[in-house]
């Protein structure tokens, strides 16, 4: 993150910046003191409840530990194990595939719907649509996945029944290797897109009407207008939505756990599922920690990459 703050929308700026405020040592001290006070609750909390536990799991990743006996030092053995374990490797691939499609779909759906909702319509209707699209976010992922599991059942589910009405043969949504990942993505996106949707609605509201009008006058129409004018103006929002979307998608757990339990085969097994299974089901806490550390590194790398790329694609006014 850079420290140069350029708000996308600001009131008209004076041509020259106001004279810099007199900086005094006292003022700086005051600012530092205040910052310390303001940051203390967050930083202390993070250190105690996140940093210390993370250090704990990094250390743990160097040990064999089954919870019951004393841990024994393993060096890098757990990492070696991880890199040769086909289930772990597949789970990383699945997670990346899941991330790419889930985030892309989520952003596209949210963006299209946000543009559509932003169009001309009665105020009450717009409010109804907004609430509807946000609604799934309010629900618990675990309980709604139980419902979804029934709806997507191949033989008895409502989804296949509806498709049957239009002559589509029953789809094995959750029981075939090809369809299962798609279904998990669908259910996840269904629940999550509301968040990006709200971000986009907000972002669109912030784009001054004059810009649109100017673009229309220049002859930009429909899709082209959105591609050339709206999207660049929305790019900071897109960045936020995709960063948060990716961080969440890389940690997906509930949906595959309830819908398919990782199957069929390993088709929908995600990294966090592997962590949970090897720690709490197979008592291999060291190896689970090693996978956790790798996932953490992966998320950081992806996020860093995003910010790097964003310098080229994100436009600030």
Partner 1 sequence: MSQATLSLSRTRHSLAPWARIAALAVCALLTLGPVVWTVSTSLRTPAEAFDLPPKIIPTDPSLEAYSGVFDQIDVWLLALNSTLVTALIAVGQMITAGLAGYAFARLEFRFKKPLFGLVLATMMVPLQVTIVPVFLVLKSMGLTDTLLGLIIPAFPTAFGTFLMRQYFLGMPKDLGEAAMLDGCGPWRIFRSVYAPLAAPGLAIVGVLAFNYHWNEFFRPLILETSGQNYTLPLGLVSLQGNLGTGSISVVLAGVVLSMIPAVAVFVVGQRPLREGITSAGVNR
Partner 2 sequence: MTDSLTRRTLLRYGAYGAGAAALAGTAASWDRLTGADIPGRDDGSLVVATLGPAYGPEAVRTLTEGFKEVHPDIKLRINAVQAVDWSDFFAKILTQIAAGTAPDLVYVATEGVQLFAQRLGVPLDDWVKRDAGELREYFSDVHPSLVESMMYEGSLYQLPVEFNAADMYLNNQVLKRAGADFPAADWTRDDFTGLLRDMKKSSGSQFTPYFWTNRLWGGVVPWLFANDTNLLSESKAPGGGWLWDSFYPAAARQGRGGGFRWTTPQATDARVEEAYDYLASLIQEGLCTRPEGGNGQNLIGVFSTGRVGVTPAGGFWAGGLHLAGMKADGFDVQYFPRWRTQRMQYGAAGYALLRTSKRQEEAWEFIKYAARKDTLTRLFETNQTTPARRSMLTADRYRETGPNHWQVFYDTLDKFPNTGPIPAPPQVAEVEQVLLKHTGTALASRRSVAPALRRMQSDLEKAMERDV
- Residue 282 DSSP class: T
Run of H or E residues at 63: strand 63-64
| Whether the Cβ atoms of residue 99 and residue 246 lie closer than 8 Å to each other | yes
Q: Tell whether residue 264 is a contact of partner 2 (CB under 8 A).
A: yes
DSSP three-state, residue 68: coil
CB 57 within 8 A of CB 292: yes
Q: Is the dihedral of CA 12, 15, 16, 19 positive or negative?
A: negative
How many residues in the shown chain lie near partner 2 by CB under 8 A? 36
Helix or strand or coil: residue 64? strand
Q: Is the Cβ of residue 201 or residue 274 nearer to partner 2 in the bound state?
A: 274
Nearest C-alpha neighbor of 184 from the set 87, 253, 277, 242: 253
Q: Tell me which residue has tokens 């589910």.
A: 157
For residue 213, how many other CB atoms are within 10 A of its CB?
A: 10
Instruction: Give the one residue of 82, 110, 249, 258 binding partner 2; rule: CB under 8 A.
Output: 258
Residue 245 interacts with, from partner 1, partner 2, none (CB under 5-8 Å by kind): none
At residue 72, what are phi and psi to the nearest 5 degrees?
-120, 140
CB nearer partner 1, residue 113 or residue 179: 113
* Binds partner 2 by CB under 8 A, chosen from 118, 175, 248, 303: 175
Burial class (CB in 10 A: 0-12, 13-18, 19+), 42: exposed
In the complex, minimum distance from the CB of residue 171 to partner 1, in angstroms, rounded to a whole number: 16
User: Binders of partner 2 among 49-88, rule CB under 8 A?
Assistant: 66-68
Residue 150 or residue 316: which is nearer to partner 2 going by CB?
150
Q: Is 9 in the site for partner 1 (CB under 8 A)?
A: yes
Q: In this structure, what DSSP letter does residue 267 have?
A: T
Tell the smallest beta-carbon distance from residue 141 to partner 2 (Å). Answer: 13
Which of the listed partners (partner 2, partner 1, none) does 116 bind, with a CB threshold of 5 to 8 Å by partner kind? partner 1
* Residue 35 lies near partner 1 (rule: CB under 8 A): yes
**Residue 262 binds which of partner 2, partner 1, none (CB < 5-8 A, kind-dependent):** partner 2
Contact residues: partner 2, CB under 8 A: 66-68, 142, 146, 149-150, 153-156, 161, 164, 172, 174-177, 258-267, 276-277, 279-283, 285
């Amino acid at each position: 993150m850079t420290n140069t703050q350029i708000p996308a929308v600001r009131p008209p700026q004076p041509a020259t910046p106001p004279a810099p405020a007199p900086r005094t040592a006292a003022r700086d001290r005051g600012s530092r003191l205040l910052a310390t006070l303001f940051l203390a609750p967050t930083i202390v909390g993070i250190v105690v409840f996140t940093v210390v536990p993370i250090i704990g799991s990094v250390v743990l990743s160097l040990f064999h530990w089954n919870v019951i006996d004393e841990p024994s030092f393993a060096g890098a053995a757990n990492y070696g194990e991880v890199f040769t374990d086909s289930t772990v490797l597949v789970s990383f691939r699945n997670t990346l595939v899941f991330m790419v499609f889930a985030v892309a779909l989520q952003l596209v759906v949210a963006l299209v719907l946000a543009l559509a909702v932003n169009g001309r319509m009665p105020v009450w209707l717009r409010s109804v649509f907004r609430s509807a699209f946000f609604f799934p976010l309010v629900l618990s992922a675990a309980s709604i996945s139980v419902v979804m599991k029934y709806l997507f059942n191949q033989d008895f589910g409502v989804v296949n029944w509806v498709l049957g009405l239009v002559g589509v043969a029953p789809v094995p949504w959750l029981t075939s290797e090809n369809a299962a990942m798609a279904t998990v993505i669908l259910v996840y996106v269904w629940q999550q897109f509301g968040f990006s949707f709200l971000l986009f609605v907000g972002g669109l509201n912030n784009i001054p009407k004059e810009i649109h009008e100017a673009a229309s006058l220049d002859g930009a129409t429909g899709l082209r207008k959105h591609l050339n004018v709206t999207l660049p103006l929305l790019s900071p929002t897109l960045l936020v939505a995709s960063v948060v979307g990716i961080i969440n998608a890389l940690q997906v757990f509930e949906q595959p756990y309830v819908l398919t339990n990782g199957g069929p085969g390993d088709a929908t097994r995600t990294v966090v599922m592997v962590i949970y299974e090897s720690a709490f089901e197979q008592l291999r806490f060291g190896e689970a920690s090693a996978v956790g550390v790798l996932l953490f590194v992966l998320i950081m790398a992806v996020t860093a990459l995003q910010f790097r790329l964003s310098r080229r694609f994100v436009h600030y006014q």
